[in-house]
Every structure is written in structure tokens, then in C-alpha cells.
Amino acid sequence: MVLRPLPVRDPATLVRFQRLSPKGYASVLPYPEMAFFREHATTLSTVLAWTPSTLRMDHEQSSLKTQFVTANFFSELGAEARLGRVLDPARDETNGAEPVAVLSYAFWQNHLGADPSLVGKTIRLNDKPVTVVGVVSSEFSGLSLESPELWLPISQHPYLVSGSKLLTEYAVEGSGVAVWGRLRPGLTPKAAEKELRSLAAALRAGHPNDIWENESLPGSPGAYATSAINQSHHGTGTKDPNRLIPVAATAGALVLLILAVACGNLGSLVLARGVARAREIAIRVAIGAGTGRLVRQLFTESLLLGVLGSVAGLGLGYFVLRYLIAVTDTPAWMNPAPDWRVMLFAIALGFLAAILFGLTPAFQVVRQRHEAARVRQILIGAQVAASCVLLIVAGLLVQTLKHASGDPGFAYRQVVSIDPSLGNNRYSPAKARAYIDTVESRLRALPGVESVSSASTPPLGNKTVKIGLQIGGRAISIHTNSIEPGYFQTVNIPLLRGRDLLRGDTDAIIVSQSLAIAAWPGEDPLNRQLSLDGRKYTVVGISGDARVAQLEDRESTEAYFLAAAADMPWMVVLVKALGRPEEVAPALASIAKAMDPEIIPDVQLMKTSFQNRLRASQYSALSVSVLALVALFLACLGIVGLVTYAVSQRNKEIAIRMALGAKPSHVFALVMRQFALPVVVGLLVGLGGAIALSRILRQVLFGIGSLDPMAYLGAIGLFTTAVALASLFPLRRAFLVDPMHALRND
């Protein structure tokens, strides 16, 4: 699915552009900058862009996911309308153009009753009339994995979003457009990057405060799922847009380890079976079969297993993916059917597996060499190493999940957030202040409410603000938050020293303990001066550390200011319930909406947000744990087979030892001694491989190091115990052997 292009026209020439400079990285560009590139770029035949938004429809009870797009969006992507038409640059992006909308097929069918007469009619979005001009086909979802309910011309953004400065201002908080360009014939992305860099430098001459210094516009293939995934991180920060690649590569490596364990198993079985066929092979040699012919025969048998496994894997993979797509919110264009690349990969993998588990054992069997035992030991070591790696990585991810699900430093189980989105509903700062104050007063009087406050960036919300700070030559990234008095009491972040913020504390700041230690190591931070964004603040309090932005943020530092008038339209009200928050949430929403019937407040239980944040870690830990258990099972199965074979080969010896009074423990040690070296070597190799993989996975190993002793000792202990227990079953047969019967058969 990653290799397959999105269902758009001429995907090879579509390039996604993002901002990069020594200052940081941004997945979006200011609209005026995009418009400048669209007007002056000669390496691009066209530039298209979009930005997400939420709008309220007259009869809908919740906000609609919307994308404002350049009017060439549909024509450039080759999208067709199922009903009516799509956006047209000549009609929908001119001055004075009529506000229009294109509906998604799913929204038209599921929410609007698939009414064909809706095209040409007027709907109301944010209390503004908009004409529906078409319904797009069901396969189209644009350039993102999340399909919106409707698309509108980006030129209508100021009309529908009150106070919008998207089209005119370069630096507006939370704004920006994702930008794609289509290369002219014969040109490469590097040529476009070079031109856009020079255009950005020219634009900076007139806008030195808006265009980053040494800004570049790196391009990446824009018509693939990776670009759509990166688009989900719509904003500005310092993260690498390709940060998912090492994680995905590691996941692939872990799956290949399962294949290695299976190949080791089959290789051991081929060797054991070959020894049992020694008489057959001797007869074939006696009647003239050469080495090459015998190897071809044995390898053909292995190749048949590999091919059958590939076919079974293709079929099973298709049905598993089909099921996952059906039960998850996946775009309609995602097709789980394997294409020629997947089929070729599966066949090649089956052929490679056949070589790994069939060819070398076949040579050993045909030549009947004593090195066969050494080959078996190598295969055992490979199984042990692969299983050990999987178990350790699974242990690390489970430890990560345990850490992330622990105490984040603030209370979340009883807190409810209410986001009225006043800024998107034409509220001025003064009107928003009156709304927030009145709502908080009414909520405090509600039975079952313990505390009420508000913040611009609530814990685990969708918004986060970071400020970079240089202290003592070290760069510190600080999460900032504008809050109202009572915030710390509401979310249970302890104030370790000093006092809370009070009304009128415009120059006061509360810093987290981690920030205080980083900024003033060994000194008293109270009453110290801290400069942020060119403004000086006095530290009046020290709060406990809280992972309010990301549960996995191991080095989170926070700073809290008193909310200013400009923050009021974007404040989120926080309510701490005395009992179960589910019981008071409906009343909270009712009070917030009663203040203004036009507002549809977004009410969220913070514990639900907490669980949603953990979901990715839970999936990762579960997936790798399943792989690790499968590898452990296969390794145990392989060792059981080898121990059974070893016992059968030494039946006479074991019988004599038992007849002479040998204890079962001595027999156990005798048989297992030949497997001790490959197991120990495999464990050591597995430890090294796990350390290497865990260093790659450090970006998702939250709160623990790559050498976490619990994960390593637990994995080794589990593996050793499982192998020892599995080996007892075939050895039990040896203990029950009647010495007279074994010698008589011999």
C-alpha cells in the first residue's frame, strides 16, 4: 500500500513541498508564500494546496471535517464528480465568486440520504449560505488518509471562518496550507527545490520576519501513502517528517526474524529426515544417481514447501488486510489485493526461504558428512537469536506501555474538557472573556463539580505550543500554556514551591521542576527572570512535571502564563468532577450550549483522550508480543524435534546408562549438553541484535532506556524456561525406555 500511488492523475509528477531551515521544520506553508510560488515558479506547471477546518452545518449536531482547497485541486488530481461538477478555477476562485461546496460520497450517502436533488441547492455552513455543486466519486479521498465530509474553495475561507487571516498573513497561529506541485515534463524535484529556495530568498527580502532565514523547500513524492501519513502532522515543529521509516523498517525486520526461525526449524527437520533416508540415498547412489541429481531432488521438495507457503501467505495476507480495512476508518481507495510487486516479493521470499532451509541441509544429507550436526547447531543458534531479539523488543515495548500508562503528572480520570471554539464562531476577545467567565460560574454551581478552570492548551488536547530557548549553550524546548487561576487545582498538578497565578499577574510565570533544574541548576529559581519571545517574566512558582502534551515525552518542560485577552477566543474550559465524569458531562455540554445556541461545544473526557494516546503503544506492544510468542513457539518446536531425534539416535546408550543406574537428571544433562553451546551463542547474538534494534527504536521507547534490565532478563528467563520445559517431553520417553527392549531391538 505504501508503494502503490494514490488514485490521482499522473502521480509520478506530483511533489509534496514542506519548509525546512535551521530554525525548524513545518509541514505547511503560509498561504501568501504558496501564492508567490504559484505565480513565479517555472519548474512547476501548477501548484495546489489545502488546509483542514471544521464547520457547522445547520442540521448537523456535530462539526464537519472540511478541507479548503485551491480550485484546481480536483482537476489536477483527475477526480470526477458522481453528481454535478467539481470545483472550477475559472468559476470558483475569482473575485466575487459564489460560495460553493463539493460533498464527499460517504457524507452525501450516510448523512444526506443520497438525495440527488441536493445538487444546486443551498446549505448553511457556519450560518452562511453555500451552494452544493457536486458529489465526488466514492474512490476519491484527496491527498490525505482522512476523507473530509466536504471540500470548499480556499478563497472562501475568510467568508466562512470569522476573523480568518489565512489568505493575507504569513504568521497566524495554527494556520498554513499543505502544498503540492506538479513538475513540468523532463524536470526533477531537485530542480524545483533549487528554484523554490531562490524564490523563498527573494520573498524574504520583502518579508524578513515571515520567511525563515536559509529556508528551503525539500520535495518528496506527493502521490503516495507516506505523504498522506505525514500530512496528519499538520503544523510546525522540529520533528523529522520521515521519522516513521526506521520504525516501519524495524517492524519488517522483526517479521523477517519469524521467517528465519521457521527456516531454522525446517532446516533441522530436513537434516533429521535426511538421516532417516540414508538407506534410500545409498540405493540411489548405487544405481548411478549423482550428487547434483540428489541435491536437486531434495531441494525440489523444499522449494515446493516454499512456494506453497508463499501462496498461502498471499491469500491469508489479503483476507487479513481486507478485514482490517473493513473494521477501521480506512479510505475507500485502499485495495488490499496484491499487485505484481507483492506477488514477485512473496515468490522471491519463498524461493529464498527454500534456499535457507533446504539447500545446505540437502548437501549435508547427500554427502552424509559429520558436519550435519554442526549445521543443526548453527540452525539452533539462529532460532535462539531471532527468538531472543523478538522477546526482548516485545519486553521493551511492554515496559514502554507500562511507563506511558503510569502517572503522567496530572489527574485525567475525573476531568472533562469543553472546547466551545469561540474563535471560530466570530467571538471577540471581550465577548469571549464574558462567555468563559459566565460558563465557569455556572459550572461551579453545578452539583458534582469540584473545580473549574480554563487553558489555551489543555492536557492531551489537539493543540500544543513549543518555544525554543537557549540557556547556558543548551537548547531547551518548552511547552507553554496560557491558563486561568485554579488550573493546577483542577488538573491536580502539584505546586511544589511558590504560589499560583492571580488575576493581574501579567508578568508572572510558573515553571515546571524540570525546567527550573535545566535553567538554574543548583540555584533557587523563585523570583528569577526568564525571557521568552522577547518578553521578561518573573518566576513565582514551581510546579510538578507533567506530560501534558505527549505521554511519551521523557524530557517535557512546561511554562505557564496567565491568559491574556487575545487568548480568550481559544480557551478550553476544564472541569474536575467529584464522581464519575460521565455522569456530569451531558450537563456540562448543556450549560455551554445554553450560553449560545449557535455553538456546538466539543466535550471530551480526558481519560478517553488518555486511552487514545496509548492506543498506538498498545498496538505496537501487542503486535510484537504476538510475533515473539510465535517465534518462541517455533523455536521450542524445533528444539523438541531435535531433542527427539537426538534421543532416538542414542536410545541404546541411554538404555545402557539407565540399566547401570544413571539418574534421569544425568541423562537430561547428557542429551542437552550438545545443545548448550548453540543456545548460549544464540542468546549472545540475540542480545547484540536486540541492543542494535532498540537503539533504532529509541524514538518510541518512552521512559526507558534501550538496555532496560527487566526486559532483557525477563526475555532470557522466559525463553530458557520454555525451552527447558519443552525439552522434557521427548526426554520423558527416554526415561521410560526399557533397557532390555532397546538392546533387543538393536
Q: pLDDT tens-digit profile of 468-487?
A: 666 666 667 788 888 999 89
| Residue whose cell numbers read 526486559 | 711
The whole-number pLDDT of residue 245 equals 59
Residue 419 has pLDDT above 60, yes or no: yes
At residue 201, the pLDDT reads 93
pLDDT digit string, tens, across residues 496-516 = 999 998 888 888 999 888 888
Question: Does 701 score more than 80 pLDDT?
Answer: no
Q: 334-361, pLDDT tens digit by residue?
A: 777 888 888 888 888 888 888 877 776 6
For 277-287, b/e burial (b = at least 16 CB within 10 A) is: eeeebeebeee
Per-residue pLDDT tens for 47-79? 999 998 888 887 655 678 899 999 999 999 999
Nine-digit cell at 470?
537557549
Mean pLDDT across the chain, nearest whole number? Answer: 81
Taking each continuous run of H as one helix and of E as one strand, the counts in the chain are 22, 24
Q: What are the sequence ranges of the domains in the chain?
A: 11-237, 245-404+618-745, 415-612
Alpha helices, H only, 161-224: 189-206
Q: Is the pLDDT of residue 674 over 80?
A: no
Q: Which residues contact 323 (CB under 8 A, 6 or more apart)?
A: none
pLDDT beyond 70 at 308 = yes
pLDDT for 236: 41
Residue 659 makes CB contacts below 8 A (sequence gap 6+) with 739
pLDDT in tens, 634-663: 878 877 777 777 676 666 777 777 777 777
Rounded to two decimals, the pTM is: 0.64
pLDDT computed for residue 60 by the predictor: 59
Dihedrals φ, ψ of 444, to 5°? -65, -30
pLDDT tens column, 18-47: 888 876 678 889 999 999 999 999 999 999
Helix, strand, coil shares of the chain as percentages rounded to 5? 50, 20, 30
For residue 96, the Cα-to-chain-centroid distance in whole angstroms is 43
SS3 label, residue 80: coil
Q: Which of 99-108, 121-130, 177-186, 713-722 is the least confident region?
A: 713-722
CA 110 to chain centre: 29
Q: What is the DSSP letter of 157?
A: H
Q: What is the pLDDT of residue 570?
A: 85
The residue among 384, 253, 257 whose CA lies nearest residue 695 is 253
C-alpha–C-alpha distance, residues 195 and 328, integer Å: 41
Q: How confident is the model at residue 366 (pLDDT cuts 50, 70, 90)?
A: low
